[in-house]
Amino acid sequence: MSVKLPKETQQQLISSIQLFFREEMDDEMGELRAQQVLDFCLKTIGPSIYNQAISDAQGYFRDKVEDLDGAFWIPEATRWKP
C-alpha cells in the first residue's frame, strides 16, 4: 500500500522540506528535488509510520472494548430486591 496525500498536504510538505534544507543544510532546493525527497520518504519511511499508527489505534480500541463492562455495565433489576 502506498501512502497517498492530498495535494495541499503534499505542497505544504514540499515547502517544509525546502525550508529545512535551506535553514539546516544551507542548501537551496527546488520544488522537483523536494518532491523527490518527499516521495522517497513516503515510500521508505511512510509504511513503517502507517503500520505503527494502525497498531496504536488497534491497541486503543482493544483497551476501550475490554473496558466496556467496567465503564458502562449497569446492574439489572435491583430496585425491588430484598
Q: Is the pLDDT of residue 3 over 70?
A: yes
How high is the pLDDT of residue 21?
97
Note whether 21 and 28 are within 8 A (CB): yes
Note whether 47 and 1 are within 8 A (CB): yes
By CB atoms closer than 10 A (0-12, 13-18, 19+), residue 72 is exposed
Domain positions in the chain = 7-72
Q: What does pTM read for this prediction?
A: 0.72
23-69 tens-digit pLDDT: 999 999 999 999 999 999 999 999 999 999 999 999 999 988 888 87
